[in-house]
Amino acid sequence: MRQEGSSQCQTMTTEIKMESRPRARHGCYFSLAFSIGSMGLACGSLWQIPNTTDRITLQRGLFLTSLGFIYFISLTDFCNKYLVETKRGQQFRRKYRLMMSDVLEITNKLVSAIQAFFSFLVGLIVCKSTCAKSFVYASHFLMEAYGWFGTAYFMYDIWSMYKVHTQKIADKLHQLRLTKSQLLSNGHGSKCYYDTTTDTGTCRGDGKVGGNNNGSVPVTPHEICDYDGAYVQMPKDGRWDFLKYVLTHPVMMIHHVFIGTFGLLVVTYIRGGGHCIYSYMFMMEFSTPFVSLRSILSTMRLKDSPAYIANGLLMLATFFVCRVCMWPYVMWRYSMAIDAVSIWSAMSGLPRGCLISIAILFLPQLYWFYLMVIGAIKVFLPKQKLAPFTSIPKNTFTAKSMPTTNIANGNSKT
């Protein structure tokens, strides 16, 4: 009787899983349809504008911002569901031993790269259209339109990064409980394996210490490696409220809030004109896909691959050209346009608020480029070669034994 009941239960479970797969797929592509539809509505609303110099009205701007929120949120939902619920997504997770926090991290970087592509494309179109007319006074409706649409991304991305942060804490706490229970059961070191497809784990006591997931410097069991590569102390109860997250990441918060409000809306809508100058700011995003790809490859534990090295070199080159050298070049073009004696004399004539805005936008680029250079030096000029990791069974995730467990990814979001 027990065997018959067990077989019936297994059959019912299999049928439920088979029935749930189409629903999961429908939910996945339903989000994709929302994303494509919102982008289509945004583009369609711009076809009604007859002249490139026309302004975007407040009503149309708010409509574009609403569509921006729908687009980025539904795109994120599609990517997450695709990796978690579809067959190919689960195969991808098994192959690279991805935990849920890794999935959220990859999705966050993919959406960031897509937004950067749109921003660069808009900047390139506006630059070709306006810079030949007037470097200082020309305008283009596409600049204002994407200013409204893109501001939704920077507000959304703050919440997305927070969700990644909290999921990393949840994943690590799960591993800590798993490792601690094994230590209590056998009294010595253990190697733990985490199955990402079933969200279950097993430990094997062999007295050996495994490697962490990305070869970063080991940390204490009560720390995680955040998106910017800094180690963050975990709260004892495992909870991290949104306000605390904002207060502990001031540079990224200032960057996102400033660009999402003043940088896009105030500059492109209230100021009007000068869109040739602002187009160069949009084209600064050309380096972001390389930054995102670096983080994705790190999350997939491919830091030793040729693709990671090649992408790192491209990231350094594009970031230096598009984000470090871009500002001096724009100021030089501006000084030439107003017939100033030098760049410094042109900058001294700018309003104080404009100079503060330039500093807020430019100084973080220098800081992030400095971090990239330091990271590149560590890759190409390592102090000592680390011992190779032990073989990891397929479909598993390896965590360090206590007390140096680290399951978070040392990724950087610039």
Percentage of residues in the chain having pLDDT higher than 90:
37
* Relative orientation angle of helices 352-380 and 326-337, to the nearest 10 degrees: 150
User: How far is residue 367's CA from residue 164's CA, in Å, rounded to a whole number?
Assistant: 23
Token pair recorded at residue 94: 């098994």
Contact 99, 407 (CB under 8 A): yes
Tell me the mean pLDDT in the region 292-300: 93
Stated as kind and residue range, the H or E segment containing 231 is strand 231-233
3-class DSSP state of 223:
strand
3-class DSSP state of 342:
coil
Contact 268, 143 (CB under 8 A): yes
Residue spans per domain, the chain: 51-60+98-399
Token pair recorded at residue 16: 């439920």
Token pair recorded at residue 180: 């601690």
Name the band, by pLDDT with cuts 50, 70 and 90, for residue 392.
Answer: very low
Which pLDDT value is given to residue 370?
92
Which pLDDT value is given to residue 233?
61
3-class DSSP state of 236:
coil
Q: Cα(first)–Cα(last) distance of the chain, in Å?
A: 61
Q: Which residue has the tokens 């069974």?
A: 393
User: How far is residue 283's CA from residue 290's CA, in Å, rounded to a whole number?
Assistant: 14
Per-residue CA distances from 318 to 284, 303, 324, 352 (Å): 9, 20, 9, 30
User: How far is residue 407's CA from residue 186's CA, in Å, rounded to a whole number?
Assistant: 22
Q: What is the pLDDT of residues 339-362, one digit of tens each?
A: 888 888 888 888 887 888 788 888
Q: What is the pLDDT of residues 99-140, one digit of tens each?
A: 999 999 999 999 999 999 999 999 999 999 998 888 888 889
Name the band, by pLDDT with cuts 50, 70 and 90, for residue 406.
Answer: very low
Q: What is the value of pTM for the model shown?
A: 0.73
User: How far is residue 319's CA from residue 317's CA, in Å, rounded to a whole number?
Assistant: 6
Residue 228 has pLDDT above 80, yes or no: no
Name the band, by pLDDT with cuts 50, 70 and 90, for residue 217.
Answer: very low
- Is the sign of the CA dihedral 14, 15, 21, 23 positive or negative? negative
Contact 108, 161 (CB under 8 A): yes
- Average model confidence (pLDDT) for the chain? 76
Lowest mean pLDDT among 17-31, 192-206, 227-241: 192-206
Beta-carbon contacts of residue 150 (< 8 Å; ≥ 6 apart):
68, 115, 118, 119, 260, 264
